[in-house]
A = this chain, B = another copy of it.
Amino acid sequence: MNGARSLLATMVANGVTTVFANPGTSEMHFVAALDDATDVRAVLCLFEGVATGAADGYARVTGRPAATLLHLGPGLANGWANLHNARRARVPLLNVIGDHATYHARYDAPLQSDIAAVAGALDGPVFNPQRPEDVAAETARAIAGAYGPPARVATLVLPADVSWGEVATPPAHWPVAAPTSAPVPDEGLIHLAATRLRTTRSAIFLGSAATTQSLMDLAQRIGAASGAKVMVETFPTTMDRGAGVVQPERLIYLSEFAVAQLADLETLVLIGANEPVGFFAYPDVPSRLVGPDCHVVALAPPGVDAGAALAALVDQLDAPSAATPSGVAPEPPSGALTTASFAAAIAATMPEHAILSDESNTSGIHLYGATAFAAPHRLLTLTGGAIGFGLPVAVGAAIGSSSRVIALESDGSMMYTLQALWTMAREALDVTVVVLSNRRYAILDFERQRVGATGAGDASERLLALDRPTIDFCGLARAMGIPATLVATAHDLVDALRRSYATEGPSLIEVPLPSTF
């Protein structure tokens, strides 16, 4: 029984049975130990950003951590952007990084680097067992740290000699992380929130811990009883949506509009969310989005029990049941491919209980509206702003569920982590990838205007355009083992989507869009 085997045994004892891996030399004992860990599913990813994003997606749909397996500092760095998204998604994640042997570190070998500094910037706890017999306890502590609350990216740095070294006396039972309950909100704050919801122009602002159908239903009751608006943060980790589900008003991404959206509020009650702020700063636009006179009641920020907060408000307000809004999904569209017909095609064809990994960015502008009354589904969004999350998260979501996963990608963002396609093919995942190709970093067309950096010359134009050469996304998919279809009309797209949903395994649909809309 070596350190690697005790790590795996502790993971299994704690229900962490999925590993998204891109191993190297330092991780070979962990890899060898997998041969006997028949409860564990190890999934090879060809780039670490795929592994970390997949662990995020797995956690989003299961509520449980998956493990990564990364190779020293560069492996961590390659996976860091999607760990950043996972951190902002507040999902539990066990981030396992192999390191040089403890005694080798001092020699400053080529791959030596300060792993703790890079991992520490993810704001989760970092564990670094120095003896094989410490691995089990540190692993259990890391898993406890991952669960929180609030849930976090917990990192375990495993030196090679600690991995291969023998555990002198393995414990009779592997340590199990004790669950910690989220604290309930303060009574005084509940009273304050209830009073202000009833007596002022107010909104309930829901974050990722409060975007299940049942909690949003409570929020709606509170809204109906108090006259408060029910809103949701711009980029929730996972959100129930579709016909029969409550439809909170989504905070607009563009700060200029978000400020207007919140301008008349006297009270904002936070449930599962922090106070909303501008995604970026813009000249002459405030960073805080609420008005200066708005009273922000942090009733249940992340880590506090959002469900208890909503239940307490329902009690205080004696809020009766409220009818969910009704509406109909769009008809299957025909005609030209546009951002509107694309959104309608997704909404019209979506199978029940699908999972939508949405990195459609500017091309998805009509999506949220169009899918409001689509078949019930779950929406996963770009929580941390680090693009390249959509395909990896789809990998993890498909492995963590039995649902059809629809990964909506933009051409620019898809190119960050396109290696995920290979893992989809290898694992025969039920993922439909839809790539919206407008051949631009179109969001930057907006953004440069918003920050006042207009005046488009040749040099800047070449940094925003993705043509010359155009990218053949169907070709990329086929080269990695995924069948692909280029569509030319909205009708083609509807057909291709339906065929994809009816076929097991992954496929890709390339949707050319005009570069302006």
Contacts and interface: CB of A to CB of B under 8 A. Distances in A.
A517 interface: no
Contacts of A36: 457
Nearest to A450: B25
A334 interface: no
Contacts of A422: 415, 469, 471
B104 A278 contact: yes
A407 interface: no
Given A35-B455, A117-B118, A478 B472 contact: yes
A419 interface: yes
Interface string A276-288: 0111110100011
A109 B278 contact: yes
A57 to B, nearest CB: 17
A468 to B, nearest CB: 6
Interface string A17-34: 000010111101101101
Contact of A280 (B109, B458, B468): B109
Interface of A: 21, 23-26, 28-29, 31-32, 34-37, 40, 42, 44, 46-47, 49, 73-75, 77-78, 80-81, 84, 88, 100-101, 103-104, 107-111, 113-114, 117-118, 120-121, 160-161, 164, 235, 274, 277-281, 283, 287-288, 383-388, 412, 415-416, 418-419, 422, 425-426, 443-444, 447-448, 450-460, 462-464, 466, 468-476, 478-481
Contacts of A23: 444, 463
Contacts of A419: 415-416, 418
Contact of A469 (B107, B425, B470): B425
29 contacts: A24-B444, A25-B447, A28-B448, A29-B453, A31-B448, A31-B459, A31-B463, A31-B464, A32-B448, A42-B463, A46-B416, A46-B466, A49-B78, A74-B81, A74-B384, A74-B385, A77-B78, A78-B78, A80-B80, A103-B281, A103-B287, A104-B277, A107-B277, A108-B274, A117-B121, A418-B418, A469-B481, A475-B476, A475-B479
